[in-house]
Chain A
Amino acid sequence: MPNVSMDVLVARSEPVSVRRGVTARSRSQIVWGRTQLLSWLVPALLVVGWELLARLGEIPPYILPAPTKVVATGIALIQDGTLLPDIGISLLRAAAGFAIGGFIGFALGTAVGFSRLAGVLLDRTILMLRAIPFLAVLPLVIVWLGIGEGAKIFLVAFGVVFPIYMNTVLGMRQVDPKLLELGRVTGLSNWQLIRRIILPGAMPSILNGIRYALATAWLALVVAETIAASSGIGFLAMDAREFLRTDVIVLVIIIYAGIGVVADSLARQLERRLLAWHPNYATEARP
């Protein structure tokens, strides 16, 4: 069989296989570049089409303004000094809510994941609270905390607790029992067991929870700012609605989307750093 002997030949003679490797790689890079380019074609066409239709008056500006108009509005709002402080305050709310909710979810998850007793005591209550769609508590939160910062931060934190909790517990329960046994044989204390074996083992799942929680946090913020706020970009959009400023509304939607994308890519970088040991996330070992 000629094919088989060819393969053997290639595998044995190093120069041939090296050369083949190089050309194959550069070829795959070109293909990759082309695919990248191609994948941007449809979004680019949509934007161009949107621009054209708006300019030709097919879409009235109060329904949907042209993309260039949205950009111009963005620049104007930055220049008159209203946009950036609003973005800043929205980010601050998201960060504060995420930190509080993340800490609570992680602490509860670690307790329940490690201790059977904590699991028996807490798990049912937490799962009952989780059954509440977190946006449904908004009216109650407004009654409790008004439309101040507390309400927004509470809602974000409430949305973040559960994904972090669930994934922490899940990750800790999935840690290889043989490694736990090794930890016990080696004489690790409970704290060392958690730090050296359980948390690193649970990390892929925890990071998954963080990425999911980022999305919930963002959703919570959008809703809270839209319904009950006097500052922030959600408020900016609702204020613009009063004056039919669709350009501002579209701008806010795009900013929300952009920040969401950035947050997710930050989480992915965190994943690559913390999971460098994991074959699925290793960058160095990729061919």
Chain B
Amino acid sequence: MTQRQNVTPDGPAVVVHDLRRTYGLRTVIQNLDLRIDRGEFVVLLGESGCGKTTLLRALAGLDPIDGGRIDGPSRPAVVFQEHRLLPWNSLWRNVALGLEQNDNRARASAALAEVGLGDRLDDWPRNLSGGQAQRVALARALVQEPRLLLLDEPFAALDALTRVKMQSLVKELVAKHQPGVLLVTHDVDEAIVLGDRAVVMRNGAIACEFTVSAAARAHRSHADAIALRDRLLIELGVGEGQVAA
């Protein structure tokens, strides 16, 4: 059975049952189960090609699924690795894309203010830095008040300092809006700083998952954080002693 359906308003953000996805003869995802509650921040880690982006695209409704089922919103919000702003629209029109109410400008303005760009409503995307553009993309996702927010390596193209600032902004806004979040990343430290739960994917299925303790999230030098980092690196196959010199 292959189906997607909406869940009740109070239920979890998304529940995936026994998902399967194939490209031709190659099976990219199989027997995958995942549940994300509202307000929960789940970080998905895995080597390149393990199927994590495929899972995100399936959740986003961008790709069909070949088996199992996804109980979740028909239209989750997505922030991609690239900002994907429309170059021919001002910032507020970019944020308001897909809004259907009359007070679009006011809502877009509030969303832009949340990401610190409330004074740039009528500016063009080409006048933004990479980090600013990604903040607009975040505002565009959050203005929809999504039940599920999908983040596909949204910090990967940013410089290290901007990335740290973006991470704390995302953390703050997710705490405020309380969507269920799935963040796909390669970055183990990012997973510990942001995640309530870190999930490792391998060969198209969930290999293991760890709850991130509040102490680990708050202090990167805390013993919990160090232990979790080592454990995640081992699961990803790049722990100490695993990589041949």
Contacts and interface: CB of A to CB of B under 8 A. Distances in A.
Given A187-B98, A188-B97, A196-B97, A182 B88 contact: no
Interface stretch (A34-42, A112-120, A197-205, A233-241): A197-205
A224 B222 CA distance: 85
Contact of A186 (B82, B98, B124, B126): B98
Contact of A277 (B80, B87, B97): B87
B84 interface: yes
A188 B84 CA distance: 15
Contact of B97 (A178, A186, A203, A278): A186
A200 B75 contact: no
A185 interface: yes
A277 B87 CA distance: 6
Contacts of A186: 75, 97-98, 140, 144
A201 B62 contact: no
A contact face: mostly helix, strand, loop, or mixed: helix
Interface string B89-121: 100000001100000000000000000000000
A179 B62 CA distance: 13
A181 B62 contact: yes
B60 interface: yes
A133 interface: no
B77, B82, B124, B144 pick with most chain A CB within 10 angstroms: B124
A187, A201, A279, A282 pick with most chain B CB within 10 angstroms: A187
B61 interface: yes
A185 B78 contact: yes
B88 A200 contact: yes
B164 interface: no
Contacts of B89: 196, 200, 277
A182 B89 CA distance: 14
Nearest to B98: A186
Nearest to A196: B97
Contacts of B78: 182, 185
Contacts of A181: 62, 84
Contacts of B86: 179, 196-197, 200
A184 interface: yes
A279 B80 CA distance: 23
Nearest to A284: B124
Interface in A167-216: 178-179, 181-188, 196-197, 200-201, 203
B3 to A, nearest CB: 19
Contacts of B84: 178-179, 181-182
Given A184-B62, A186-B98, A178 B88 contact: no
Nearest to A185: B78
A185, A186, A188 pick with most chain B CB within 10 angstroms: A185
A187 B126 contact: no
B contact face: mostly helix, strand, loop, or mixed: loop
Contacts of A279: 126
Nearest to A184: B62
A96 to B, nearest CB: 31
B61, B80, B88, B89 pick with most chain A CB within 10 angstroms: B88
Given A196-B97, A203-B88, A185 B126 contact: no
A257 to B, nearest CB: 34
A197 B93 CA distance: 12
Contacts of A185: 60-62, 75, 77-78
Contacts of B75: 185-187
A184 to B, nearest CB: 7
A277 to B, nearest CB: 4
A284 B44 CA distance: 44
Nearest to A203: B88
A125 B57 CA distance: 38
Nearest to B87: A277
Contacts of A282: 126
A48 to B, nearest CB: 47
Interface string A133-153: 000000000000000000000
Given A185-B75, A186-B75, 4 more contacts: A182-B84, A185-B77, A203-B88, A277-B126
28 contacts: A178-B80, A178-B82, A178-B84, A181-B62, A182-B80, A184-B61, A184-B62, A185-B60, A185-B61, A185-B62, A185-B77, A186-B75, A186-B98, A186-B144, A187-B98, A188-B98, A196-B86, A196-B89, A196-B97, A201-B88, A203-B88, A277-B89, A277-B124, A277-B126, A278-B87, A278-B88, A279-B126, A282-B126
Interface of B: 60-62, 75, 77-78, 80, 82, 84, 86-89, 97-98, 124, 126, 140, 144
